[in-house]
Amino acid sequence: MNDKHKLQRLLKFLFILMCVWTLQGCASSTKPSAVASIPANLTEPCPALSPLNGTTGADILPWVVGVVGKYNDCARRHSALVKAIGE
């Protein structure tokens, strides 16, 4: 192999190395600390809703109160998760 080919291979290697280094800088631009600091309770799925087992007011009222409570808890955790990720 002559010197011209060696020089071309070296320049090609350096160009590829420079491209890889440039891409590495882009890969580390995210905030991994925000994801690592998310409390575990914020990543739990929302609870399943219990089925409605009747059609009277005595059946519906406690069910609605339970559904609203579960929704409010899930919405609160979702909002906290959005804030934790956005910071």
Q: How confident is the model at residue 57 (pLDDT cuts 50, 70, 90)?
A: confident
pTM: predicted TM-score of the whole model, two decimal places: 0.53
Helices H / strands E in the chain, number of each? 3, 0
pLDDT digits (tens, 9 = 90+) for 60-83: 999 999 999 999 999 999 998 888
Predicted confidence at residue 15, as pLDDT, reads: 76
Phi, psi of 46 (to 5 degrees): -65, 145
Structure-token match 């809703």, residue found: 49
pLDDT digits (tens, 9 = 90+) for 17-53: 776 767 766 655 555 554 567 888 888 888 898 899 9
User: For the chain, what are the domain ranges?
Assistant: 1-30, 32-87
